[in-house]
Every structure is written in C-alpha cells, then in structure tokens.
Structure 1
Amino acid sequence: MRRIIVPVFVLTALFCLLAASAALAAPEAPKDPVEMKYPDDGNKYAPIMFMHTDKHLGVAGGCATCHHKWDGKAEITGCRVEGCHSDTSREMKREPTSYDSAFHSKDAKMSCVGCHTANLKDNPDFKGPKKCNDCHSKK
C-alpha cells in the first residue's frame, strides 16, 4: 500500500506546484474598461468599452483564447498588431486577418460574435450581447 501512496503523493504535489506556478505566471487582466474603436470609421459609432469580466477570464484556454497569438510569456498586445488583425480596410473585412473579423467572425470562437453565438446556442438564457446594438451605439 505504501508503494502506491508515496508516488501518488509526489505526483499530486508536483501537479499542484505546476498549477500554482502557471496561475502566478498569468498576466493580470486590466481592471478598467478597455476602449475598443474601429479605426477609420468616421466616428460613426461610439467606442466599445470592454470589461474583462469573470466570465471572460474564466473561458477555457484563458487569455490565449481571445489573444490567440500570445505565447504565454510576452506582454499581451491588442488585435491590430502586424501579423494578427492589422488589415482595417472595408474591402477585406471578412478575411481572417482583418480587424473587423477579430470581433465579428461568426465561425471563430475566438471572436466576440463567434463566442457569443456559440454560448447562445448552448444556453438560451445567455446574458451576453446578442445583437449589434447591444455593443454598438451610434454617436
């Protein structure tokens, strides 16, 4: 019996140590709202003030679900960095590299609309935004 208990105890302790170090290494999400505004929209819409709520922070995959290019070590950047969603043109707005697609792709669970659509499908009582005007308001 002792031959089993000691290795199980050691493995459990190692697992707890690894889990604790991963939790400590995770960056702290902004406590204040983050202003998100589509560049070059002619000030048609008011900026969206995004809060990293407990529901967002509790998403499986953590920060890397939305910040999908993040390596887990470097500082987290916004979506408009080169090599991610830097294309702000209206002509290419449905392309995966477009800024619009980062938030509005219905097929990508890492986008706001994709995640909210999946949540609504799984849970009809989903309380998050469901329509465009739930996030976007005209100035």
Structure 2
Amino acid sequence: MKQLFLISVALLAFSLTGAALAGDTKVEAALELPTGTITLEAPQGAGYKATLSPVIFPHSLHFSYSCQECHHTWDGNGTLKSCGTSGCHENFWALKPSQKDASKKNVKSLVGAFHQVCRDCHRKEAAQQKAAGSKSITTGPVACTGCHPDPHAEVVNSDESLSIPLGIINIKAPEEVETTRGPVGFPHGLHFQFACKVCHHDWDGESEVEVCSSCHDETEPSGTRNIKDEANQMYYLAAYHNVCVTCHRDTVKKQKAAKKALAQGKIGKADLPKAAPVHCNGCHSPS
C-alpha cells in the first residue's frame, strides 16, 4: 500500500502598516515580515489526519532568495496571502482527473506545491554543488524526516517581525554633502524579485535593516574618483552606484539578447524583460 505523506501549511497573513524609516528613507506603507521560525502545518478543516509532523520553517534563513521565488504571484505591494488561499493551492491533495477544473489544470495541490518549492529546490542546490566538485553539500533536507521530524515537532511560531518599506523610498545623500543631483526615488517593491541580501549584503536576516550610508559612511572618495577603486569601498556614492548601476546594466544586456530572440520568433512580446535606467537622469530627480 502506498504510504501518503502530508506536508503542512502555514496560514500566514502579512499586513500593511503605515511606517516611516529614519535616515535616507521615507515611505508611506510597510510589510510586516515574520522572522525566525514559522510552523507549517495542515490547515484546519483539510479533512486529513497528518501522519508526519509539522515543518519548522526557518524563514529568515531563506532571505538569501527572492520573495517571489516562493510567493510567485505577489506583486510586491499588496498583502501576501497564504498558499492555500481560495484560487491558489486550495486543494490539499491532487484531485482525481474527474474532479479537476479544466481552467485550473496547472495549479498544483498544496502538498505538491510545497514539495516542489522546498524539496526540489534542496535537490537542485545539492546537484549544483556536486557538479561544481564540492565535497561538503550545504543545503536543506530532502528526506521526509529531515523536514518532518519524528517524534512530532511542537508548533513553534516566532512573534518577531520586521517592517519592510513598500512603495517609493527617497534616497538622499548625507546631509553634509553638497549635491549636484536630486535624490533617487527608489521603487522598493519592484525589487522584491531579487534576494534581500543582494543589496543588504551584511544583513543577518533578523535584526533591523540599516540604511546603506550607516556602513558606507565616507562622504569623499579615499582613492581615485573611480567608483570601482577598491579604496572607495566605504564611499557612499560608490556603494550605491556599484550595486544599482551594475545591476541595471545587466538588465539592459538581457533585454538586448531577448530582443534578438523576439525577432527570431523564439519568444513573445510578453516575455521581453524590462530594462532599468543606467543614465543619471533616469534615477535622479531634478535637484
């Protein structure tokens, strides 16, 4: 008899609140982001008795991935809904062919969705590390008991959270700097397709996120005026430009390559990626 494995689901609600951050950021709304551990368990009323324990999910350990890696339909601005929300992965188990809705044929069951996102990602990372010749594989578990420990784990939910700014963040130069260009209106929500640590590279995933200039606090270049000069690593202007402009230039390259594929009929217009600004006036408002 085939043994059935139950995976748990968390019914998480991420709320929007009014917020204003100190330093060079100011926004009107924020996302309350849970840190620490979240227990994923079978939803009440699922009609199934779990045979395996709930999953203790270390949310903050996954901030090296983009939010949309898991929350794949989130627009970066609205409220985050649970995976089992009506219209999403609302069926706990896969339906029989006679029960399926033809309009939802590509929507996986809740069990299938969790296993595909979590376990398959762990397997993929392990395979990549092996292919790279790594002798020590560092990734999440792939065996059932690695996520569903026996005896059953207790439900543990951390009450800790962080307020993550949404909308436009106004990035300004330090007060003591006389600028020749205006501030940058940074659309934070549009960047949730990237991992938090792409920009906040020293963040531990749990403590408050500090503004970049709290670390990169030098207001004058230490070396040459070249932002690529290693001596300018802590120069605030070099830090911003190295992260932002370098990434934006990559989007331009990807768009150019995609346009060639579009001309060859390999992709459609809907698949054409957007390119971010790379020129001064594209980011800086008039001073």
Assess if the C-alpha contact under 8 Å between 1:64 and 1:70 holds in 2: yes
Counterpart residue identity of residue 78, structure 1: V
- For 1:19 and 1:72, the matched residues in 2 are separated by 14
Structure showing greater radius of gyration is 2
Which of 31, 55, 70 aligns to 2:166? It is 31
- Of Structure 1 and Structure 2, which has the larger fraction of its residues in helix? 1
Deviation for aligned residue 1:21: 4.3
Which of 114, 127, 131 aligns to 2:246? It is 114
Structure 1 residues not aligned, in runs of 5+ = 106-110
Determine if the alignment matches structure 1 residue 99 to structure 2 residue 231.
no
Query: What SS does the corresponding residue of 2:191 show, helix, strand or coil?
Result: helix
Deviation for aligned residue 1:29: 2.7
**In the alignment, what sits opposite 2:200?**
67
Change (3 A) 1:19 1:126: farther
Change (3 A) 1:47 1:88: same
- Of Structure 1 and Structure 2, which has the larger fraction of its residues in strand? 2
% identical equivalent positions: 28
**In the alignment, what sits opposite 1:108?**
none
Determine if the alignment matches structure 1 residue 77 to structure 2 residue 210.
yes
**TM-score normalised per structure 2:** 0.37
**In the alignment, what sits opposite 1:135?**
283
Structure 2 residues not aligned, in runs of 5+ = 10-38, 41-54, 61-66, 68-157, 257-272
- For 1:45 and 1:51, the matched residues in 2 are separated by 18
Deviation for aligned residue 1:89: 0.7
1:75-114 CA-to-partner distances (Å, cap 9, x unmatched) read 1110011xx3121213446322211122112xxxxx1111
Query: What SS does the corresponding residue of 1:29 show, helix, strand or coil?
Result: strand
Change (3 A) 1:121 1:69: same
Query: What SS does the corresponding residue of 1:35 show, helix, strand or coil?
Result: strand
Assess if the C-alpha contact under 8 Å between 1:86 and 1:98 holds in 2: yes
- For 1:70 and 1:32, the matched residues in 2 are separated by 21
Moved >3 Å (runs of 4+): 12-28, 90-93
1:48-77 CA-to-partner distances (Å, cap 9, x unmatched) read 121212x30111xx2121111110000111
**TM-score normalised per structure 1:** 0.69
Query: What SS does the corresponding residue of 1:80 show, helix, strand or coil?
Result: helix
Aligned residues: 124
Assess if the C-alpha contact under 8 Å between 1:29 and 1:52 holds in 2: no
- For 2:161 and 2:246, the matched residues in 1 are separated by 24
**In the alignment, what sits opposite 2:274?**
126
Query: What SS does the corresponding residue of 2:185 show, helix, strand or coil?
Result: strand
